[in-house]
Structure 1
């Protein structure tokens, strides 16, 4: 049964493509072992690290609990000693006749060192005694009770109506109201009432050094942060640095993704929470702590897949390498058969197909190349014929219009100057008839244009005025001949000639962001909307056949030439308003390379 199953699986694998075989190999020999072992290791190492971190956090809590308790026990002991001090109580209960009597008693109290004896605790920052005995003068430790009767912490303490020591935690306003409050803004104090004597009230306030307590907390900070909270109020927080000058903030529960340990402790009846929080240890940190296990895992993950891949790879790499080398030769146009043992697997089939392909390519190369060469010749011949057709339309069109203009002027005026203008015209005729190079520089085109306009100015007289503005950098750019002249000619014949009072023609040529901008404007009779729409339609559908039909020959001819020479990278617009004038706007590439292939 097992043998048959293996045989069926082997036969099935024979039909699996190499790509899929390698995927199966990778999944079975690499992915499954790596994922399984790494997940197991990660779980074990992470749990171990987390337990260690929690243990350390609990140790920090116990140390803090012990140190804080020690501070408050010492401070409470000082407060209790003051309550029992008969000399001090007698001093506060006595009503003095004058300041001299008070000073003598005060000096005796200080001489006996009874007061300073209780100041030896390092945890006590300041001791303050308050009384309503008005004969006791304010000094460094004695204050009138009226200084604190309106303070919130005092009202809270009195409201408890307890003779025992109570803990008062509050924030003092930065604007110091009382001199004894000037040492810090955050207060942690032990407050208690001394023995009463008639109407005389006496209270003791032992201020514990907030900075010393904060230092105890910061001494325990390492990778974890520490918060101490009293009734929802954050007393200490290592996340935000020193807080002695900042108001108390309300506690907000920490993010659940953090490790957190919470411990409570009693401080003079108040319940403080010591909260330790820490980031969960990073994946790689856990592995560094378990280097031996990591090395073993890597070794197992490398040996098994590497062995399997090596055995399978050796069976295919030689033929694949040879096949690859021959395929690379195709880039250089070298079509050669692969001369090696093909085999019967997919690689063998690939080599056989490659050899067959090479034979077919060798047979087809000559046929395809010859066919392409012939088609290219036909295309070139067609383009040359189209250009020649366009050129044959431009030359007579321009010459005949010009000669007619001169003839009409001569017949009408009978002027002797006609001979001179005919001489100028002859120069332009030689240029027109001898087409030669299809291209000219803008500078040469403008010189030719000026000659034409002078001829037209001779005809129209004062009825024609013109201006030509060419940016100097544009003069060396090459354009097809008569690209500008055709539209200036149209402006003269169809725009200015039909206007009784004549008009003006303006030509502007400039460069803008690698493009050549050409504008020809006149204030002649313009073009009616219907005619303008017809011309725009002819431009949109322009072809050699349209030129042969004879409709708007000059415009269509010039537009087609520009499209051919610039490989259709041309923007061309005609705008006109009847009885106001016409504007022709062209945008051509400035890149000389565009014309090099055609010139």
Structure 2
């Protein structure tokens, strides 16, 4: 709770009012209406889906009733002993068959069953009894019949199951009608007669069942293999080819509803699928959404206007105080004019005016004294840097002059004139105090002068290599930092070795950083010495009389703070490598 209060203390008043508005007005209203809309829409959606499921179940039951009617008729024909005798009889003369047809066949084929079962479109009996006439619901089984697709699906033998298929009757129907076909082999045929019963369903009844007004989509009757046997979608042609339901390219927003035929003879595994557009299912949800949006707008309009009115009253006066505070910051001490109010903002205005008058009286005493103190601090820092330089120069100058003196005693040569010239350049550069940083080009000149002096002293015992790209020579670095590292490598690393050694100085530029690497193959340092040098980067005490690498670290901290990196790799007898990374800066 305390952290929350501290966080709110940093939020502007206008933003606090907005936060209050969103948390106490906007969010509750929106959430309430969203919950109301969600609950309402879910109820509407579930109710709509239940209606579609019930309509689909009704279609399933009515279609199955049509099928059962055909099955019942087929069972009557299948077990009719008198019908079997008429079909088995051999008629010597057509008049004999006509008499038998009029006495029984005409009655059962044309008059009895069709009025009772309105869904039956026609009944046909196929037989190979050549003494019957091919008319009045009786047809011969010839080669044309045997080549029909439905004939090949009838299984031979006794007690064969009926099949339910679509057959082409060439009546011009948009979709081939359904037919129930079965062999009439309930009675044994002494003459080897083949009898097939075909009951054709009336497609108008099927279309009436599937054209349910509660379903605003496409219906598909699928067989046990997933093939489409009937559909209300006119775009799907199932008369001339087998079409699987899973191959249809339905729209992405299609919702599917499915009901299956389970444990039913001949239709086991069949199913009815309704493909309905999501918009059609959720149409009533859209009306509910519009009502919720209207209610939300009405509930938010009045509170919003009131909060804007109150917020403007607060914000304008606070903004006026802030405007005058900025003027005070720029030493324009103007008072806030206007009628004083009694609320907290009015009290704050009065206190601000009194504070402004007091600051105006004290500004010359306190502010000017602070400016003088800061100038003295800057001068002290500059003097400290000069003092650091002076600590380095005597130490280096002593070593260089001692080298020249010893060499002059050993040899009487004019070669020392060149060394003295190099020494003069270094000495003259060290005396310039008003220039804290130098270019890499100037630092390299001093390094080469120093290394020539060292080679003059040690001869072939010391070798060196200096690498720097020409485009990096204008980068700035603190004065004599690189020279101090080279001096340490020469005096403390190479000089103790009898056989001498090598010094490598590399300057690199990488991603806005200038990298200085000084590497020697001298005596190296112990781990304790390396850690002690790292310790100078963490300490904050004054430099004092320390010189060498400690001096370099302290100066880098003064110039760059935490923006430089120092890496030391050294081991006894393995030489030393010092790498310094500083921000690249040009003149």
TM range (shorter): 0.5 to 0.7
The match for 1:574 is 568
SS in 1 for 2:548: helix
Cα distance, 1:504 vs structure 2: 0.7
The yes-or-no answer on 1:165 pairing with 2:162 is yes
Residue 193 (structure 1) aligned with residue 186 (structure 2): no
Q: 1:583 aligned to 2:577?
A: yes
CA contact 1:524–1:579 (8 Å) conserved in 2: yes
Q: Distance in 1 between matches of 2:436 and 2:22?
A: 67
Q: CA deviation at 1:390?
A: 0.1
Q: Indicate the SS of the match to 2:579.
A: strand
- CA contact under 8 A between 2:335 and 2:353: conserved in structure 1? yes
**C-alpha distance in 2, partners of 1:538/1:376?**
27
8 Å contact from structure 2 (residues 513, 584) kept in 1: yes
Task: Indicate how the Cα distance of structure 1 residues 45 and 142 shifts in structure 2: closer, same or farther if over 3 A, else same.
Answer: closer
Distance of 1:537 and 1:325 partners within structure 2: 53
Superposition pairs of residues 371-382 of structure 1, within 5 angstroms: 371-382=369-380
Q: Would the alpha carbon gap of residues 167 and 386 (structure 1) be closer, same or farther in structure 2, given more than 3 Å must change?
A: same
**1:45–1:290 contact (8 Å) kept in structure 2:** yes
The answer on whether the counterparts of 2:218 and 2:275 sit within 8 Å (CA) in structure 1 is yes
- Residue 295 of structure 2 is aligned to residue 301 of structure 1: no
* CA distance 1:584–1:336, shift in 2 (3 Å): same
Kindly provide the CA deviation profile for residues 548-571 of structure 1, in whole angstroms up to 9, marking residues without a partner as x: 2x4xx1211222122212234211
Structure 1: segments with no counterpart, 5+ residues: 1-16, 92-104, 120-128, 130-135, 170-187, 249-257
Superposed displacement of residue 290, structure 1: 6.3
RMSD (Å), alpha carbons: 6.0
CA distance in 1, matches of 2:75, 2:583: 96
The 1:467–1:190 alpha-carbon spacing in structure 2 relative to 1, beyond 3 Å, is farther
Asked if 1 retains the 8 angstrom alpha-carbon contact of 2:216 and 2:280, the reply is no
| Residue 320 (structure 2) aligns with | 325
Deviations 1:550-597 (A, max 9, x none): 4xx1211222122212234211233322223121111111144xxx8x
**Correspondence list, 1:535-574, <5 A:** 535-538=533-536, 540-541=538-539, 543-545=541-543, 547-548=544-545, 550=546, 553-574=547-568
Whether the 8 Å CA contact 1:466–1:506 is kept in 2: the answer is: yes
> Within 5 Å, which residues of 2 pair with 1:492-507?
492-507=490-505
1:351 and 1:284 map into 2 onto residues whose CA distance is 59
**Structure 2 residue runs without a partner (length 5+):** 1-12, 90-125, 167-177, 247-254
Of residues 105, 123, 147 in structure 2, which corresponds to 1:140?
A: 147
Deviations 1:182-218 (CA, angstroms, capped at 9, x unpaired): xxxxxx9956333253696979698999xxx99x979
For residues 301-330 of structure 1, what are the alpha-carbon distances to aligned partners after superposition, in whole Å with 9 as ceiling and x for unaligned?
3676468668xx47x855652342332343
| Cα pair 2:45 2:285 within 8 Å, conserved | no
Aligned partner (choices 336, 339, 342) of residue 341 of structure 1: 339
Partner Cα distance (2:291, 2:261) in 1: 39
The more displaced of 578-587 and 61-70 is 61-70
> Matched residue pairs, number?
499
Change over 3 Å in CA distance of 1:563–1:40 after alignment to 2:
closer
Q: Are the aligned partners of 1:507 and 1:520 in contact in 2 as well (CA < 8 Å)?
A: yes
Q: Give the aligned partner of residue 524 of structure 1.
A: 522
Instruction: Show the counterpart of 2:404.
Output: 406
For residue 35 of structure 1, report the CA deviation from its aligned partner.
7.9
Task: State the secondary structure of the residue aligned to 2:481.
Answer: coil
What corresponds to 1:466 in structure 2? 464
Displacement of 1:489 after TM fit? 1.1
Provide the C-alpha distance between the structure 1 equivalents of 2:189 and 2:477, rounded to a whole number of angstroms.
117
**Contact between 1:522 and 1:583, CA under 8 Å: does it hold in 2?**
yes
Distance, in Å, in 1 between the alignment partners of 2:506 and 2:22 is 71
Quote the offset at 1:483 in angstroms. Answer: 1.2
Partner Cα separation in structure 1 for residue 475 and residue 86 of structure 2 = 109
Does the 8 Å CA contact 1:523/1:581 hold for their aligned counterparts? yes
TM-score with structure 1 setting the length:
0.62
What is the CA–CA distance in structure 1 between the aligned matches of 2:21 and 2:482, rounded to whole Å? Answer: 72
Q: 1:50-82 deviations in whole A, cap 9, x for unaligned?
A: 656655664565456656766887899899999
CA deviation vs aligned residue, 1:323-365 (integer Å, no higher than 9, x gap): 4233234345355443333333444444444445545554565
Q: Secondary structure at the match of 2:372?
A: helix
1:450 to 442, 448, 451: 448
Task: Give, in whole Å, the separation in 2 of the partners of 1:430 and 1:399.
Answer: 11
Is the partner of 1:516 in helix, strand or coil? strand
Displacement of 1:29 in angstroms is 8.9
Spell out, residue by residue over 1:477-531, the C-alpha distance to the aligned partner (whole angstroms, 9 max, x if none). Answer: 0111211111111111122221111111111111122211111111122234454
Mapped partners of 2:405, 2:284: distance in 1: 104
Q: TM-score, normalised by structure 2?
A: 0.63
Distance 1:505 1:203, change over 3 A: farther
